[in-house]
Structure 1
């Protein structure tokens, strides 16, 4: 296709960082004669204020419609140069930044190098050819709803809701339970300060009930979500409560006459409640609720209610919410201790969980009594077994992070407040947090005994006492000690509702069932889906401090996302060529962020979900998917450019690298001045998952003698790159090309020097194979219609 273009090529000398090794004058003389080049200039420092101002003036003067800048890594100044294009009235996506510093001068210096100069010209040629295929792109903008759905009414959800409400957003807080507060509502004190948990939580809960920007929906669960980021339609099922929260006076007469008694789950089954009840005294909403699974509908409560607040015919309701963003904060559950058969939970009534111990201490402390065993006798000696199911491949392999500290807190309270003999069995004490180690020392000073060793067994002795069998790993002694009560620190696990919720929202879960964040280091509260955030233990075990920090971060992210009347995303996303799509659905199965759906037999990409990785592209048998700004034609053009002057007897390597991690690896080699052969040409991609067989074969057809594929993301490498290159090897064999000419590797940033070793060893390997014969290249071109 003929392209009428006006191209400007601008070269930065980087104050000698580039020009000391590359002959910039010769480069200018070479490129200014290329077709459609209207200006070719060099600058001492393009990124300086003076350089930026001069470049802006030159763009206005020469008025090119596409711009090539040969400079340092685009990871440093791509955004800078795009802003300059905007100021000059040009589309920022008509820019190509060619990295001649990290990929030429820094790795092929320090003296002036003709081959490095030749390489730089070829790299610029690649950018030049690609620029002819560029098209103006605009950010994708859609109107948004400035309301937020928060799922989960624990401390994470409460904190997020309050923060957003105080910023002026309408918040819909959805909680499955009859009241908010979550697991924190069950706690006595918080570590390491030993502040009263209820005092801290109460102010937050009252804030929710009194904030006009918060729509609180309890006994509710999300049943469906449709729409897009910025404009979701959420279906919520509000289950029957049986009590009008506006009319209920919490007098408790209804519970007095209720004939049904069931175990109280708030107190971990250690006490009972009625079928009509309040979860706990400070519950919000401040109203009773009917447990319809236990209720016999005898009508006694309805008869005595002075405000007529009770409705035994309540069937709940379905409501629809329209929101712009969603925060997931459904909290956590505890591992089922009954699965730890060797510990006798469920068999011996005095083997309890640490959460049950919290409730016992709370009730005993408030009543001023001693801790009691199941038979009513006083507890004198108590053991706490840490890692009861945690760090165990047969149960939960990960560490739950908070067990050590809440156990130390409880041990300290039991020793100081109740005067009990307390022994803690542990594998390793993990007290990583502000003030945590101090509390650990206080507990030891108070007389809490710590024994290093995992509890192997708990059984009942002849005298009715519980016997804990464990090996003290510090002395090598196998101990059997008697206790009145044993508390198990069982692991934190995702709530059982999360699996269903993840399927509704289509957020991926990790191998343990927690939500996968976008990036654990730099995007820890973003989910894989745009506009959906997560915080608290739904991302993995953590303490209250970290939970509230994440909740504040998630609310800030949601507020930033909805800061204007529009949500905006980059246009560099996958698009479907509708007339080529046959609706096979391969792309839908491949997309791991659920950005693609089938509608009326055609694939559609949601640009707000799409992360622009291109993994869907090779899965399409019709070649019906392209990635904006990294199209197949743009890639082929780059290849033609960097391989244009390749001699028949010369060996040349093309290295495809992902733009995020892999490209950083290449930059780090440049920073180290780590030399590697000049015949290695790096071509960046959003992700190597987008590589098609056609692109790799085209590399060989246009002149490459070897192709390297470097991926920095282990997930992408294992899920896509490795398998697809294995298929490519078979294709090469069928075409009569040595499979050894293509190689792939996962190179994380931390071992970036491995890339240099690979460049050197692969070059030597390809040299032994020799250049691909010209007739074979012609055959490949004919096969692919190049």
Structure 2
């Protein structure tokens, strides 16, 4: 490794050979302004704003710091009078081209320019022709959508012929690197807001602040590299890679693939959780038609300190709301959606109303059917929220209308007044239901689990065995079994863990002797029993061409016995001969012989002169 020594503004610095002057300056806290530089792209020197004075062997000259290498013995001045004069001229030109761009105004003010020194042709112009978008689109994304066209004052950036192109994958890389915000992603589907006021979804992120381990993950559906690979069937395999290039720990490996591990375990805890119900299924709430109609989960993201607004509750245009409506039971207790109660909506809606009042002071209207505050301290919190001034409207919010002014009109029933009421608000929060995951049926089939009518997994007994299932060794935890709030989920999960540990601590288990077995000499290898077994206890042995029963999994339900076309399967202790013998014994009429007995008949019944034999 070679090292070079140079001087920047009188400071002697020793660095690795191969770096640019700009990189060395930034590493040592020396500010050099620039608009066209990005560490993931090859230096271009288009804006000329990073110009510095280079002195070498007594000669002085101006160079762009982003492209000039750090040589040994180099002397650099980043803020000399000559440098400031050149930058002032450059900023005057940029301000005259883009007079209303905030970052241009700020940089110009640093050099004493408060108004454009040259005539302004287009006050709405935002593009400074830095070329960052062109380079990121062509060099990194490799979509080749953007490029320069025209010459001189007619030079501009855009797609071919300035028309829409299907080559654009909508990755947003150009918007992320544009220093002036001149590029905007426009959705083709009019009238539907895909982007919520929650910020864009990053392709690489830490799932949660409490994630264990707390490391970033890559979302392959959003990552430019993987999207380009899928779109071109692998023809473009090295698109982007900015994260890998900038990661100092070299922790990113795009060649890693998903792995499937085979593990031998003694117990399984199913904790698949829940999914939030899709509010677009009920069109009367206008979800998706305004960015200010959000779900409860989206509100949680918005109000979180780690969210896109730093915890501030703001509308899509950045203003604080003055009136907010919260609608309960969206998708719950509804014959058109789910008939069950989600159990969590009432309390998180009250919490969100409290946050709105606390952070914005806005008026809050809660449209509810019944307030189910059943937990410890819940009723007290309900009363506290009312004391804070939240207006409680008992009745389901029937409709949300987006007005031409952008306001939202919520119409609903007030059961206490016995009439319809309406409220014009700035924001609507929909307290959506929770439902079983979309792949719950696959999980149920995999582990032999039953499901209740609401789609969640069925426990062995609702009171006596609430965490066990009909499959030994498989336990349920949390909302996999049904809707629960946090305290109930923690308690349920703890019980499931305890049951699993108790099972593992035994070392061995006792199974019922009443199980099925296959008489292999009669098995026709039709595999009918395998597909019908609800406990996946029957497997097929290719070597012997017969079906065999896993005695540890079999529950002796008899399904395979009844359906085997060859009659090769029998249930131990419930053979046909045993069952027929029981039936025969049940219907056999026993013959009981009663002996004749002579005894005197009382005088009150027969004349005293006669005697008679009676047979009992």
Question: Which one of 350, 371, 374 corresponds to residue 292 of structure 2?
Answer: 350
Residue 447 and residue 578 in structure 1: after superposition, are their counterparts in 2 closer, same or farther (change >3 A)? Answer: same
Tell me, in whole angstroms, the C-alpha distance in 2 between the residues paired with 1:316 and 1:594.
Answer: 26
CA gap 1:638/1:395 in 2 versus in 1, 3 angstroms: same
Query: 1:258–1:276: 8 Å Cα contact kept in structure 2?
Result: no
State the secondary structure of the residue aligned to 1:272.
coil
Aligned to 2:550: 606
SS at match of 1:540: coil
Matched, 1:631 2:559: no
Is residue 594 of structure 1 aligned with residue 536 of structure 2? yes
By how many angstroms is 1:458 displaced?
0.4
Question: Per the alignment, in what secondary structure is the counterpart of residue 559 of structure 1?
Answer: helix
* Structure number with higher strand proportion: 1
Equivalent residue runs for 1:719-734 within 5 Å:
none
User: 2:368 maps to which residue?
Assistant: 426
- 2:331 is paired with a residue whose SS is coil
Distance 2:469 2:311 in 1: 47
Say which SS state the counterpart of residue 525 (structure 1) adopts.
coil
Pairwise CA distance, 1:631:
3.2
1:271 paired with 2:213, answer no
What does residue 515 of structure 1 align with?
A: 457
* C-alpha contact (below 8 Å) 2:512/2:555 kept by paired residues: no
C-alpha distance in 1, partners of 2:452/2:394? 31
Q: Which of 420, 433, 437 is residue 491 of structure 1 equivalent to?
A: 433
1:382 partnered with 2:352: no
Equivalents in 1 of 2:582, 2:256: separation in Å? Answer: 67
Structure 2 counterpart of 1:288: 216
Aligned position for 1:545: 487
Higher helix share: 1
Give the number of equivalent residue pairs: 392
Cα 1:348–1:592 change in 2 (3 A) is same
Alpha-carbon contact 1:587-1:596 (below 8 Å) kept: yes
Counterpart selection for 1:402 from 317, 340, 344: 344
> For 1:427 and 1:304, how far apart are their aligned partners in 2?
53
Deviation of 1:556 after TM superposition, in Å, equals 1.4
Change (3 A) 1:321 1:451: same
Equivalence map 1:323-334=2 (5 Å): 323-334=265-276
Gaps of 5+ in 1: 1-254, 649-786
- Partner SS, residue 467 of structure 2: strand
**SS in structure 1 of the partner of residue 536 of structure 2:** coil
- 3-state SS of 2:249 partner: coil
TM-score, length-scaled by structure 2? 0.58
Q: CA 1:422 to 1:365, structure 2 compared with 1: closer, same or farther past 3 Å?
A: farther
For residue 617 of structure 1, what is the aligned residue in structure 2? Answer: 561
Matched, 1:466 2:466: no
Q: 1:581–1:622: 8 Å Cα contact kept in structure 2?
A: yes
Per-residue Cα deviation, 1:118-156 (whole angstroms, up to 9, x for no partner): xxxxxxxxxxxxxxxxxxxxxxxxxxxxxxxxxxxxxxx
Native 8 Å contact 1:370 1:379 kept in 2: no
Deviations 1:467-507 (A, max 9, x none): 00111122221111111111111111122343443344443
CA distance in 1, matches of 2:176, 2:290: 31
CA contact (8 A) 1:517 1:525 kept: yes
Cα displacement string for residues 627-681 of structure 1 (whole angstroms, at most 9, x for unaligned residues): 3333333333334445444359xxxxxxxxxxxxxxxxxxxxxxxxxxxxxxxxx
Once the two structures are superposed, residues 148-178 of structure 1 have per-residue CA deviations (whole angstroms, 9 ceiling, x without a partner) of xxxxxxxxxxxxxxxxxxxxxxxxxxxxxxx
The reply to whether residue 525 of structure 1 matches residue 467 of structure 2 is yes
Query: Given the alignment of the two structures, is residue 502 of structure 1 paired with residue 444 of structure 2, yes or no?
Result: yes
CA contact (8 A) 2:197 2:316 kept: no
Assess if the C-alpha contact under 8 Å between 1:259 and 1:274 holds in 2: no
Contact 1:382–1:420 (Cα < 8 Å) also in 2: yes
Q: How far apart, in 2, do the equivalents of 1:259 and 1:524 lie?
A: 54
C-alpha change, 1:581 and 1:367, in structure 2 (3 Å) is closer
| Matched position secondary structure for 2:287 | coil
SS of equivalent residue, structure 2 residue 252: coil
User: Is structure 2 residue 301 aligned with structure 1 residue 359?
Assistant: yes
Residues 755-775 of structure 1, C-alpha deviation per residue, up to 9 Å, x if partnerless? xxxxxxxxxxxxxxxxxxxxx
Q: Give, in whole Å, the separation in 2 of the partners of 1:259 and 1:612.
A: 65
Question: d(CA) in 2 for partners of 1:599 and 1:540?
Answer: 38
Decide whether aligned partners of structure 1 residues 501 and 295 sit closer, same or farther in structure 2, where only a CA change above 3 A counts.
Answer: farther
Q: What is the Cα deviation at residue 304 of structure 1? A: 2.6
Matches within 5 A, 1:739-750: none
SS in 1 for 2:489: helix
Are the structure 2 counterparts of residues 313 and 369 from structure 1 closer, same or farther at C-alpha, using a change threshold of 3 Å? closer
Q: 1:592 to 1:345 in 2, by over 3 A?
A: same
Give the C-alpha shift of residue 605 in structure 1.
2.5
Structure 1 residues 478, 349: CA separation in 2 closer, same or farther (over 3 Å shift)? same
Give the match for residue 751 of structure 1. none
- The DSSP-based 3-state class of the residue aligned with 1:320 is coil
**Higher RCO by CA contacts (8 Å cutoff, separation 6 or greater):** 1
Q: Using a 3 Å threshold, how does the CA distance of structure 1 residues 403 and 357 change in structure 2: closer, same or farther?
A: same
CA–CA distance in 2 between the matches of 1:269 and 1:318? 37
Structure-to-structure mapping, 1:755-770, within 5 angstroms: none
When residues 398 and 490 of structure 1 are mapped into structure 2, their CA distance, relative to the original with a 3 A threshold, is: same
RMSD of aligned alpha carbons? 3.3
Task: Quote the Cα distance in structure 2 between the aligned partners of 1:431 and 1:339.
Answer: 27
Farther off after superposition, 594-603 or 486-495 = 594-603
What secondary structure is seen at the aligned counterpart in 2 of 1:323? coil
TM-score, normalised by the number of residues in structure 1:
0.46
- 1:341–1:535 distance in 2 versus 1, CA, 3 Å: same
Unaligned runs of 5+ in 2: 1-172, 179-183, 186-194, 226-238, 593-616
Q: Distance in 1 between matches of 2:420 and 2:537?
A: 56
Deviations 1:366-396 (A, max 9, x none): 9787521111121121111111111222222
SS in 1 for 2:509: strand
